[in-house]
Each structure stands twice: as C-alpha cells, then as structure tokens.
Structure 1
C-alpha cells in the first residue's frame, strides 16, 4: 500500500479523529507530551503505534514545519464526481473549480476556508494542478478530512455535467464581468478560480454562464488565488445567510 506523510498537530489530530487509516505516528524526542495530550489520547484509543524519533528524522520527512509530530497515513481518496452530484442533489450546493492551481499552500488554504463556510466540494484537474500532498494537508489544518475533493480528467466536460445537474458556472475574470457583489447565489453554484499566473483557460472561460471580478483600487491588479477564492466563498455565504 502506498503511504503519505502528514505533519503538524492540526493535521495529525484531524486524521486521528477521522476514519483515516494511520500506520504510525512519529513524535519528536523531548516533546512536551502534555501539549499534544489530546492527540495522544486519540491515538491510544485507536491503538495506533507512536514512535519517538530525533528531530532530524522529522526534518527529513517534510520540508514544511512539523511541530514535532508526523503521521504515516494511507493516501487521501478523491471523491467521484457522480457520487458528489448525487450527494448534493437536494440542496443549493457550492463547489469550487480550481483551473490549474499549482501552489499547494493555496489549495490547502482554499480547502480550509471551504470547510469553514460549508462549501460542498472542490474540483481539480488531473493535469497541470497540485495534488493532495503533505503541504496541502498541513495548510488545510485538518479541513481536508471534511471537504470532498474531486480530481477530473477534463474540466470542460465536468462543467457540462455540473450544468446538467443544475449548477450555474461562475467564472472569475477582470474583463467583461460584473462586480462580484452583484452575483446571484440563489442556485447551485460552481465557482471557477484560475491558475496563479494565467487565470482561467480559454475553454473553461467559454463554459462559464457568467463572469465576476473583484474590484481593486490599489496599484496591484491581482489577488492571491486563495484570497480571491475566500472572498467569493464568503460572498455566497453572505447572500444565503441573512443576519437575524
């Protein structure tokens, strides 16, 4: 069985609290066990092996800060598109389509925000895109356990399938678009976020039902992909959840 390494206290705790298959957990020698007691309690309850190792071994496992803990887990399973469509068929769902996102920190941050506001799923392409790796897991701070991620072969065909299922496709583009605060969110929505450097591809843009932009008045004319995604997700939330 292939295995992945995840690091960081939030990521390991979320994996331990889920039904994720964990082979072994490594903790740094000399770590204050009282600080990670909730994690150790979960691991003990699940009878998962815990091994103390030198900090140097943890450093070799990942190139991101590990906070003195790492876990060897089974690979993350991607959700099938048809299973997702079936699961959300009776609700006003929201799904994020990430067109060629390459930075794992951006993907992890988007997953984290998606979980925070109840976005139903995330779609990434199999080519020209970051995958669910250890950096994504850590950046999501455990949210990856709660947000379905679909990996598809063809984004344009996937968009057509979503339309058949009742979704409207909202693209993000600075040209020939409306202010994002004017977009309608009363129907199932698929929101497309383009890649960090190129934005949406031509074919994906042509498949969108409407386009929105984020108004900017400063000297920089673009936003980080995860920031843009976060603003759009919260705008959908704001429109659908009136303040009492």
Structure 2
C-alpha cells in the first residue's frame, strides 16, 4: 500500500533484490539444528547445574590437609590428675587455679612444675573454673590441654623409612576406652612401633584421658586417623606390609612371631568386648593369639597389644 513502506513488517529489498527484515529468513536461520539439547546439569542457569557445581566444590575440599585436629581443647581436672599429667610431659596450654584454693603439697608441686615448664598459671574464681571445666569436682585446679593433631596413615610408613627400619604399625579396631588407647600408644612407643592408627568414628580419640595414660608417649609417637579401616589395611598390604590380627583363635601364636615379623608389619588389635570385627579379621593376612594357661579367656586390649609388640621387638633386637 502506497505510503506504508515503513510500517512494521514491511519488506525492504536490497540492491540485489534479497529480502531482509520482515521476510522470515533470519528466523529460519535461527531455527536451524544446533545439536541435542544440553543436559540440565550442563546448563549454567539450571538448578541441577548449581547442585552439580556445589558437589564438585565439596569434593575439591575433601582431601584437606594431611593433619586434622581432634576438636576443641580438653581439660584435665583434679589435683592428682593435673600433677601426674605435668610430671608425664602431657602438653598443657595453661594451668587454672581457683581463688582461695587450699595450698597443699600437690598444689605447690603443680605451681613449681608449671614454672619449670613455662606454663602460664592463671587464677580465676571457683564459679568461673567450674563453668570452664563443665564439672564441679576440679578441687580448685585444672589444666587445659590442646586439641591433638592427627597424622595421616601414610606418614607412619615415612617414619619407618626415615629410620631405615621395617615398619611396625598398630591399628585399633574400634577401641572405645581412651585409657586403653593411651596404654597402647605408650606400649607402641616403648617397643619401637612407628605409629598407631584409629578410625575416625566409633573409637576413642586422643582426649586428655588418653594423653594422661600414654604417660607423654603421645608427644613422641604419631597417631593417625582413617575414615575406612578395611581400606587402610589393604593400602598397607599394597605397600608391602604383612597384616596380623590379634585374636584368641589365631593360626599363629607369639612363639611363631618370626614367621611374620621380619618385614614391614601391621598389628591389628580388636575392641575390648568383641575383638576383631568380621571384615577386619578376613582382611588380615594372619591371625595371632597369645598362649595362656588356666581358665583365663582373654587379656585386656592394652595388655594383649603390649605382649605382641614385645614379641616383635625381641625378634627384631
């Protein structure tokens, strides 16, 4: 229609007679095939894409540092426990004494040891000390112990390599009593082991009680944590270690320790009540038992570990 060439949708022809705006040519080109539609997880503005990105970010963070903290700092309370911890070299951040606490021999020794070791001594009110410790039976004295720094299980093999010795590693299969853990750490250090491995869950950890029972050995021996006990056993086997489990129905006894103790060795100690779990026992290369007389069925986990570690140390001496 004359005079309407500028209306919306009108066809404008170029010098060559090719239609441009309004012809639908550009629309047709826009509809040409561009391949299959990307998955929702690959489309930047889709919810699934954001979920996928969050998972990848979490995975990237998971390995983390090789050393992990056990958690918040712990407290040792009571006059005898605090003095014993100071005597045995348990690392202490600070010593707290309640105002007006009776000065007896134990308190004076705690003061003397804190001065010799360079440990800060702080005086607080009794209610404040009770609040910090979360318990009223502190007898006016408490020691703050730092969170334990766990090693990586591979670090224990490095310790043996640096010492140019065949590895001797102790794995604890869900030992739940921190005093047993501390006793085993102490025995492991005494008989030349290169470290102790514990599970991250359902197991005692290096709390103040374990520090105290270890008699300071935890400051000299690495304790590592692992997420999966059975996987860690297999990794040690792949590294060339023989893995023996400690159980009363073993195919070996401590008298036969020479059969396995010559090379890299991992000793697995079962829990206090149930012993080795089924899958852990199946993954061990051999099962070792301790010969006993009379009607005694079993030994405490800490004592049993000490007997086996002593037998290994005697063979390697």
Give the TM-score band, short-chain normalised.
0.7 to 0.9
Structure with larger Rg: 2
Q: Which stretch of structure 1 is more off in the superposition, 190-199 or 26-35? A: 26-35
Matches of 2:134 and 2:195 in 1, distance apart? Answer: 27
TM-score for both structures, normalised by structure 1: 0.83
1:1-244 aligned within 5 A: 2-7=72-77, 8=81, 9-13=83-87, 14-16=89-91, 22=93, 24-27=94-97, 29=101, 30-32=103-105, 35-36=109-110, 39-43=113-117, 45=118, 48-51=120-123, 57=129, 61=133, 69-89=141-161, 90-184=164-258, 185-241=261-317
Report if aligned partners of 1:110, 1:230 keep a CA contact under 8 Å in 2.
yes
- Whether the 8 Å CA contact 1:94–1:188 is kept in 2: the answer is yes
CA displacement 1:154-193 (0-9 Å, x = unmatched)? 1111111112222111111222512212112211211011
Structure 2 Cα separation of the partners of residues 206 and 62 of structure 1 = 43
Shift of 1:40: 2.1
Q: Deviations over 1:44-76 (max 9, x none)?
A: x36x2433765995798388x979753213210
Whose RCO is larger (CA < 8 A, sep 6+)?
1
Tell me the C-alpha RMSD between the 2 structures. 2.9
Q: 1:158 to 1:133 in 2, by over 3 A?
A: same
Give the direction of change, closer, same or farther, for the CA distance of 1:146–1:203 in structure 2 (3 Å limit): same
Structure 1: unaligned runs, 5 residues or longer: none
Q: CA deviation at 1:211?
A: 1.3
Q: Distance in 2 between matches of 1:107 and 1:53?
A: 34
Q: Secondary structure at the match of 1:183?
A: helix
8 Å CA contact 1:26–1:50 kept in 2: the answer is yes
**Aligned CA distance change for structure 1 residues 238 and 113 (closer, same or farther; 3 Å):** same
Which runs of 5 or more structure 2 residues have no equivalent in the other structure? 1-70
Cα shift at 1:138: 1.7
- CA 1:217–1:12: 2 relative to 1, 3 Å: same
TM-score for both structures, normalised by structure 2: 0.65
Which structure has more strand as a fraction of its residues? 1
CA distance, structure 2, for counterparts of residue 53 and residue 72 of structure 1: 16
